[in-house]
A and B are shown apart, each in its own frame.
Chain A
């Protein structure tokens, strides 16, 4: 028990550390580049991270549960392809959007069904559905792209509100952020999520319906991936089968960067928001420094390794100091 408490406190301090780190990156970046701390640049950061942020809100619950969903980027692509495909076939735009979100939700439900009802491992299953959903998108659109969308919606994906720096998608993201933040931290549902992550067995014996709970989380992860699909489609004004390739890894690395434990049971909403923004800010700084885009892949990887290694190293150092203190 004491072990858990200690890990918990390290994690908590990592949550706050990440916010400090984010501020540090902002200070450093604005000192080294003249146009980092500008409204326009922040608009870019928010806009570039919007899909990652949206999916991360749901994925947070997934990872706290001790499960993982690697198929989110493929769901985004399938939703986006369905949106483009149905719109090109003459469906009204609102219906196309609805189809995108419904397809996303259905994909999430299928993942949940395979994991909970058939008892298969989420890692293996979602590697399978990653290929499956992307493959269906491929089969549906092939190499075609759809990029004729109504002005109103492409403007929603790309423009800012009036003359302010806020992208038009920001209110939506804030809405979902608050919704999922409250859900995790202020409701029994959130508390149950954390309990299942700490110990699925204990949670089951405490009377939590673990199967139903996981089912719900898988389904709303699909839903959010569908929403992200809508935003992605309109931001780039393109629906094609290879939209968002590899996005799942960005989402997971941002979440781990935000202090969520890959072993489940620990995680906070503000940590995740800070993690996503941190990754986005570093990326933006690299762009402004005109550092070769190719380096960004390496930086993403290093950030991911740091995010998973740092809490463990901090914990190890602490244990060693304590042992020394005990000896002397």
Chain B
């Protein structure tokens, strides 16, 4: 029995993975192109931005917080990076990533100070910064758009780069970030603290965990990931305007929740979040292959999210019952 309960957390990811494979297989049956190298590459390319953002906010959601400002940060980062590149033709992809990260860092520090420093509710704070950052994009962009010809060739080339015929560079980065973050969340003190804080914030305070530092750094991390995701956005679309990635924050939250990171904090993994992002994208692709109108996309996203929350709830209740039963047995 002890063995089984130990296995439980990872069983969530493996069942998600099975669902993902079924979804991919199902879509492949309808549209065989989906299973080819090209199809896989398309799926991975289009998931990279959301997946990277999902890795960024997963620790925050684990801590029972939320960051809604990420989509605006992606927009700001993408536009400002494009702007710098247009004005400095000598820039390569290196500068792009540096600038993107700095912008993300700035937004992350602002969020972190307000949420962790003043202990304001993250939902409201990041709602506020969502507006402010998007407003900044409107103001600085002044309706100027950028296209591929203004962007560094090395960046676009990197965006086109594919390993083994199916793994795009951006998704390789996602995988590396995912592995590093998964190890961090599982094996470091900071990572374990995140789960403790999310399970019971007042208790985490009382036992003397560094709640301020952990929360602050989680928001900074999410900001930086969003900044880098902005560069990924440029690599994928090779064009940007002031409404880039507008309103996509909820899609990221949906991916994370579908991936098994509980919105009430304390459980879930980065690997799950990435699988969640892939799953959402696959199902979208599958429905498109079935001939479902693109207009229904948002409705399907919403429905998926609600189903995921419900499944999560059912599992949590069942788990609680099992643990309780086990405790009673042990006492007898």
Which residue numbers of A lie inside 8 Å of B, CB to CB?
A: 68, 114, 118-121, 123-125, 127-136, 138-139, 142-143, 241, 245-246, 249, 252-253, 256, 262-263, 292, 294-302, 304-305, 308-309, 312-313
Contact = CB atoms under 8 A, between A and B. Distances in A.
B306 A125 contact: yes
B121 interface: yes
B135 A295 contact: yes
Interface majority SS on B: helix, strand, loop or mixed? Answer: helix
Contact of B295 (A142, A256, A294): A142
Interface stretch (B90-98, B224-232, B296-304): B296-304
A249 B114 CA distance: 19
B296 A138 contact: yes
A308 B124 CA distance: 7
Contacts of A123: 66, 123, 263
Contact of B305 (A118, A124, A313): A124
Interface in B118-169: 118-121, 123-125, 127-136, 138-139, 142
A107 to B, nearest CB: 12
B332 to A, nearest CB: 30
Contacts of A119: 313
Nearest to B301: A131
B127 A135 contact: no
B219 to A, nearest CB: 15
Which of A118, A263, A297, A298 has the most C-beta atoms of chain B within 10 angstroms of its own C-beta? A297
Given A132-B303, A263-B121, 12 more contacts: A128-B302, A128-B309, A135-B296, A135-B302, A138-B296, A253-B127, A256-B124, A294-B139, A300-B131, A305-B129, A308-B128, A309-B118
B202 to A, nearest CB: 13
Given A118-B310, A121-B309, A139-B295, A301 B130 contact: yes
B306 A297 contact: no
B276 to A, nearest CB: 13
B8 to A, nearest CB: 21
A131 B104 CA distance: 26
7 contacts: A114-B310, A118-B313, A133-B299, A138-B297, A139-B293, A305-B128, A308-B128
A130 B295 contact: no
B247 interface: yes
A312 B295 contact: no
Contacts of A128: 254, 302-303, 305-306, 309
A316 B311 CA distance: 41
A245 to B, nearest CB: 7
A134 B313 contact: no
A302 B134 CA distance: 12
B243 to A, nearest CB: 11
Nearest to A139: B296
B293 to A, nearest CB: 7
Nearest to A261: B121
Contacts of B119: 312
